[in-house]
Every structure is written in structure tokens, then in C-alpha cells.
């Protein structure tokens, strides 16, 4: 197995970056863009995923990295919950909801696997 030298090489960070791009895309359109509270909250949760993965990796400690991965994992759950609000308010359709929800679920599994591998 090759050693990972930079956080950008982590699959979970790469997936989080894609999720973040999608979140910015959906929150700048229509009624979603006008719901400043939800827009800000879902964006901050997405930002938290990326930043916690990067910060934990750069701490150079398995224990701290694991802790920050747990934070990132929790933020993915926050995004998923916020997606339900967006769906219920009809800011997004079911297809967009499912696509983003599934991306979060996939990244959650990657993060969970990474946590197990560094323990």
C-alpha cells in the first residue's frame, strides 16, 4: 500500500470536495438561494467535512486524525438531514436529493473504513 503524503490524496477528501461543489451549485439557485439560514448551514457542514479531514491528516497523529474524521462523518450526517429540509421545502427535487444523499452516504462509508484502518 502506498503511503499518503498529502490530504488531497485521500479519497474521502476528494469525495467531500465533489459534495461541496454540488452543495454550492444547488444552494445558489431559486428559493434555496433566498433561505440564507439553511443555505449557510448546509454549506458550513460541507466545508466542515473537507476541513476536518485536512486538519486531522495534517496533525500527524492517528488519534487526532481519527477524532477529526469522526467530526467529518458527523458533518456528512448534518448535510443529509439538511437535504431533507431542502426537499420538504421544495428547494430541490427527489432526484437531486437522492444523488447528494447517496454521495454523502458513500463518503461516510469511506471515512468509516479509514477510521477502522488507522485504529
Are 50 and 16 in contact by the 8 Å Cβ rule? The answer is yes
Range of the domain at 54: 10-118
- Report the pLDDT value the prediction gives residue 2, as an integer from 0 to 100: 67
Q: What is the pTM of this model?
A: 0.94
Query: Is 3 contained in some domain?
Result: no
Query: How many domains does one find in the chain?
Result: 1
CATH number at residue 109: 1.20.1440.60
Half-sphere exposure in the Cβ direction for 44 (13 Å, CA) = 6
The residue with cell 454521495 is: 103
Per-residue pLDDT tens digits for 37-94: 999 999 999 999 999 999 999 998 999 999 999 999 999 999 999 999 999 999 999 9
The helix/strand count (H/E) of the chain reads as 5, 0
Chain centroid to Cα 101, Å, comes to 10
Average pLDDT value for the chain: 96
Are 43 and 23 in contact by the 8 Å Cβ rule? The answer is yes
* pLDDT at residue 1 greater than cutoff 60: no
Nearest to 110 by CA among 53, 48, 59, 33: 53
Residue 49: phi and psi, rounded to 5, are -60, -55
Amino acid at each position: 500500500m502506498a503511503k499518503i503524503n498529502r490530504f488531497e490524496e485521500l479519497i474521502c477528501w476528494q469525495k467531500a470536495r465533489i459534495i461541496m461543489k454540488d452543495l454550492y451549485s444547488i444552494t445558489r439557485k431559486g428559493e434555496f438561494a433566498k433561505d440564507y439560514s439553511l443555505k449557510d448551514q448546509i454549506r458550513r457542514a460541507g466545508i466542515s467535512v473537507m476541513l476536518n479531514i485536512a486538519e486531522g491528516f495534517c496533525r500527524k497523529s492517528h488519534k487526532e486524525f481519527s477524532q477529526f474524521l469522526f467530526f467529518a462523518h458527523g458533518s456528512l450526517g448534518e448535510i443529509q438531514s439538511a437535504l431533507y429540509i431542502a426537499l420538504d421545502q421544495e428547494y430541490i427535487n427527489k432526484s437531486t436529493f437522492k444523488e447528494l444523499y447517496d454521495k454523502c452516504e458513500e463518503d461516510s462509508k469511506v471515512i468509516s473504513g479509514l477510521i477502522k484502518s488507522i485504529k
